[in-house]
Chains A and B, each alone.
Chain A
Amino acid sequence: MANNEGRLPYATRPDFKVGRATELTGRDRRFYRFLEIVPGVASWTTLIGVLLLSNYAPFIAAYFVIGFAIYWVLKTAFLSYHLRYNWKRMRHHLSLDWSTLIERFEFGHIYHVVILPFYTEPERVLDESIASIVKTQYDKKNIILVLGVEERAGEEAIALAERMKAKWGERFGFFLITTHPKDIPGEMAGKGSNATWAAEEVRTKILDPHGILYNHVLVSIFDIDTVLYPEYFNCLIWHFMTAKRPLKSSFQPVPIFNNNIWEAPAIARVVAMSSTFWEMVQQERPERMATFSSHSVSFKALYEVGYWQTNMVSEDSRIFWNLFLANDGEYDVIPLSYPVSMDANVAPTFFGTMRNIYKQHRRWTYGVENFVYIIYHFSKNKNISRRKRISIALQQAEGYWSLVTNPIMLFVLGWAPIFLGTKEFHQTVLSYNLPIIVRDLLVLAMFGLVISSIISLTLLPPRPKEKGRVRYVVMALQWILVPVTMIIFSAIPGLDAQTRLMLGKYMGFWVTPKTRVDVAQ
């Protein structure tokens, strides 16, 4: 969308959709570049600082490590409390008959635009996702299904979209295939640019010609592997109709990465479930939420900011910050506490899976570019209350800093004073007690994993016949891998992403391969 028609005032700024420092000039460019450096420097300074402290001031380092271990235990308990509560709420939401709940509302005028951008994913993945939409208990005549094809994916992708349309097209009110042209200047190849192209196509080809009002349209942007639960749209409508400001809200389901969980190796399962759990925790503290992965939002709100950014990686979260800033901070994320199923990251080989998980998490943790964007625009948009700006800035800073540093400090550098400390330190009771206390505290923290283990078992899809019951035991015990996965698939890719941003080596969008080869449903 080249012009600023229909945009909110703040969204018309030339720097509103800045993706990186190089897109700016002068002082703004220098400031943005400085902000890009900050997260990486903060994380590296922390990690190196702990090492130096352990060597030169081991007593201070030891007291810090003990304090940090206590903090970790309490943080684990705190998050487990939220997780358990959301699990209870999600199960309750799954048990509800949402169609009865929404009977009291008049919502027949509301259309759902479901955008499914895809690249080269296999037909089976598309088919199952669309089939799940068809199976939802909602009037499909009010659903506009959009398959967003990438031109760079070639004729095969277009042919696949046509086959899908031929198979499912009659089931929906509208079925639109959009083809995102390759090599549009200023765009980064990725989900955001495809989705934005698709949204504008919907507007010009369906909404405007049919006189559908933008504020009567809810857009659900789903990853192509998203499988809906039957009451998703009913649940969404209920939350939309009861929201304080429905047109100024995004609606976030819980992504459960369990479509292919029975085929995934243990590490992939733990990583996938951990991501789900994090989203479940966030559902109980919406003021800290940004949209993530599959979510829904009113078309009007999207139109007012010119849809998703096309020049950066983590567009799923960025769209929330676009909306938040354009609406002067008067914008919410409403947690649905209702799940959508997605694929765990599985490749044909174990090492392929590990590599893909790493790359996927590096892409996710590259969301640190949003921190830069937020702080930059907080310095520009003074209509947002100072308190809100400070609160969000601190939350975001703590989030990206702790993501990278906490696991490494706890499981690796926590022992540094013992190995690097001075001779005087090694003779003390403190030196001998340090590993004992830290170990005991970590064991205590591991009890939080018991809750994770139990909850994860309840989120499993039905066991395929070829998988033995013993697999349940393995799935319960797999959580012992958490310290490893936290470092290898959270902290290190996070540090990698922050370092790239710090050095100005900007990342491109990496499409997670979907290889549901053995799916048996």
Chain B
Amino acid sequence: MNPAGRPSVQPLSRLQRRLVFWSFSCVFLVTLPLLWFYTTGYRFSMIDNVRSIVSVGGLYVSTDASGVNFFIDDVQVTDLRLFRNATYIQNIVEGKHSLHVQGEGLQTWTKDLSVSSYIVTEAFAFSMPTQPHIRIISEYLTPQNQSVMRVQNATSTPFYFATTTNSILATTSKATSTLLLNSEYKYAVSLFATSTATSSTLARQISDRIEKLSGASTSTLTSTKGTTTKLVRNVLLFENAGDVYAEWIGEASDIPYYYCTPNIGATSTPVLYGDHIYTSLIAERMRKTGETLSEAVLALEGNEMCRDIIRIDDTQKTVRAFDFYPDSNHLVLMLLNDGLYVVEIDDRAWQNTQLLYPGTGISFVVDGGRIYVKDRGYYLEVFTSLTQ
């Protein structure tokens, strides 16, 4: 209480409140444009002691791999914004940048990506184990649940090149009286005995579409076990004249980002995205419209250029079978001469190709999100990550 008989803590005066109000208003007026510019993609730069405002873009990299590091132009990125299965890398100046994603025990995914100011370039990175991770599905199990693997020589294993995730009992004995039958083995055998072709109605629809689009007769398509056409979430995977293609057959507005590039002109597009992208854009337009080359080049307009079909890189090897990577419509499993590979459909710059399982006489089946491989009479499940 002060001497005047009044409480010493007086109500906030109007002056005080106005001062606070106008201070906050000033903060608002200063902060608002700064945050607007920041979120749009402007940054304050102090390169070589020269102050300037630069515009930036970003990279949004999705990946299922855990424990990986991101490098841009060989410099590790530490300022990451992590989303559930993706990483947002900010503050990247316009131009072409080399992105590496690598982790211990994993193959490196690398891609040269073009970044534009104010725009976020998307990519999906995948990293398969450097050493195949497998689980052997044997015909018999021991009572201790070990997989029994019959071998010629008990001291050596046929899968020396891989890491097995289950306990194995290698034996030369053919006795089975003390062993238990493995029901999964029977299932695996049935998978490889069954054709993986899609239903006849769907297969016919797909074949009709291929014929319509490519001008090729379905009779020219080689369709062997494991190499039939596949359709996952509006991406059609098919083989034509020995090459495998991924075609988007959904709505144009929903087309995945890697089917399209910004329309930056006949000169810049090959430089930033590769000749193959530009030529495929032109070729596809010519095929669809019947235009001449010069007409097609001139006709490419709009903010974005898209094509429907992307060829899957087979590294100039013979494709023996193909399928979609489990639960994915942007990765493809390609069974080539020397093994089973994972290849991305995204062909900007190049398509990353990673060996999942080596072998010359193998076959594979994708079933229920799992990849089964038959190798030299053995049935295996091949894992795509280190954590399984």
Contact = CB atoms under 8 A, between A and B. Distances in A.
A434 B58 CA distance: 13
B7 A81 contact: no
B31 A70 contact: yes
B40 interface: yes
Contact of A78 (B9, B24, B36, B40): B24
A81 B20 contact: yes
B11 A432 contact: no
Contacts of B7: 89, 92-93, 96, 101
Contacts of A432: 58, 60, 88, 90, 120
B71 interface: no
A429 B39 contact: yes
A74 B88 contact: no
B27 interface: yes
Contacts of A93: 7, 9
A254 interface: no
A285 interface: yes
Given A74-B24, A104-B5, A437-B39, A429 B17 contact: no
A53 to B, nearest CB: 16
Contacts of B289: none
B124 to A, nearest CB: 15
B120 A285 contact: no
Nearest to B35: A66
A284 B12 CA distance: 6
Given A97-B1, A104-B5, A285-B12, 20 more contacts: A62-B39, A66-B36, A74-B28, A82-B12, A85-B12, A89-B9, A89-B11, A93-B9, A96-B7, A101-B5, A427-B120, A428-B41, A429-B40, A429-B58, A430-B39, A430-B41, A432-B60, A433-B39, A433-B41, A436-B88
| Size bracket of the A interface | 35 or more
Nearest to B39: A433
24 contacts: A70-B35, A74-B27, A81-B20, A85-B12, A89-B11, A96-B7, A101-B7, A242-B6, A284-B12, A284-B17, A285-B12, A337-B11, A427-B120, A427-B257, A429-B39, A429-B118, A429-B120, A430-B39, A430-B40, A430-B41, A432-B58, A432-B60, A433-B38, A433-B41
B39 A78 contact: no
Contacts of A97: 1
Interface in A81-118: 81-82, 85, 88-89, 92-93, 96-97, 100-101, 104
Contacts of B56: 429
Nearest to B14: A287
Contact of B28 (A70, A96, A424, A434): A70
B32 interface: yes
B39 A434 contact: yes
B119 interface: yes
Interface string B300-336: 0001000000000000000000000000000000000
Contacts of B17: 82, 284-285
B32 A67 contact: yes
Contacts of B36: 63, 66-67
B57 interface: yes
Given A74-B27, A78-B20, A437-B35, A284 B11 contact: yes
Contacts of B118: 428-430
A104 B3 CA distance: 12
Interface in B11-36: 11-12, 17, 20-21, 24, 27-28, 31-32, 35-36
Contacts of A104: 5
Contacts of B11: 89, 283-284, 286, 335, 337
Interface of B: 1, 5-12, 17, 20-21, 24, 27-28, 31-32, 35-36, 38-41, 56-58, 60, 81, 88, 90, 118-120, 253, 257, 303
Contacts of A284: 11-12, 17
Contacts of B24: 74, 77-78
A27 interface: no
A100 B2 CA distance: 12
Contacts of A96: 1, 7
B21 A78 contact: yes
A71 interface: yes
A66 B12 contact: no
A337 B12 CA distance: 12
Interface in A284-315: 284-286
Interface string A436-477: 110000000000000000000000000000000000000000
A434 B36 CA distance: 10
Nearest to B253: A423
Contacts of B41: 428-430, 433
A431 interface: yes
Contacts of A70: 28, 31-32, 35
Contacts of B58: 429, 432
Contacts of B81: 436
B132 to A, nearest CB: 36
